[in-house]
Amino acid sequence: MTTLKPPKSVIGLFEDEDTAADALDAVASAGFEQKEYEILTGTPYPEGTFGEEEPIHKLYRFPLIGAACGFTAGLLLTAGTQLAYPLIVGGKPLLSIPPMAIIMYEGTMLGAILFTVAGIIFESRLPRLFMGAYDTRITEGYIGITITSGEDEMPKAEEILKKAGAVDIKRGWEQTDFD
């Protein structure tokens, strides 16, 4: 159900989980594609509570890449400084592995953590500059279902959400609070 016109979004608010899950089924069976609708909640629920698909992510690659970068940076820093200024201190040989290991370890962990944080933000699809249809009651316990599609589909979307038991429906294009 794709369209060439710029997409618009609408949100329906539901008071309980079962109604929201039924509404999600109704949206899906009305022909909207997976990427066109989302469920918004104020707290994490067990996966699949609303019958939604499990989100796929590649977060685990980030710490590995970060660790490799951090390790390399640590190795270059520790080996490079000793070779660039080859001064024997306290009888410790140049390229002393135990102290190098300590700094390389910190570098590895720092790299892994920085990349993980970047990965979390990236994989969460943040920052999101335009909120689209949203309602502040989501963080109060209401469950929201948003449908983002072509302008022509909006009446149909609103109808489905209303039929499914939404206590309120808001149009994204009429909201100014978050953009």
- For the segment 62-81, give every residue that binds another protein (CB under 8 A): 63-64, 77-78, 80-81
| Ranges within 28-47 binding another protein (CB under 8 A) | 38-47
Using CA atoms, how far residue 2 sits from 37, 149, 154, in Å, is 13, 7, 12
Decide: is 112 part of the binding site for another protein (CB under 8 A).
Answer: yes
| Ranges within 116-175 binding another protein (CB under 8 A) | 116-117, 120-121, 123-131, 134, 136, 138-141, 144
Distance of CA 75 to the CA centre of its chain: 33
What's the closest the beta carbon of residue 115 comes to another protein, in angstroms? 10
The values of phi and psi at residue 137, to 5°, are -75, -10
Interface with another protein (CB under 8 A), residue total 73
State which of residues 5, 31, 33, 51 lies at the interface with another protein (CB under 8 A).
51
Decide: is 55 part of the binding site for another protein (CB under 8 A).
Answer: yes
What's the closest the beta carbon of residue 91 comes to another protein, in angstroms? 7
Lay out the sheet containing 143-149: strands in order across. Answer: 37-40, 143-149, 8-14, 168-171
In 3D space, the residue among 38, 41, 52, 34 whose CA is nearest the CA of residue 15 turns out to be 41
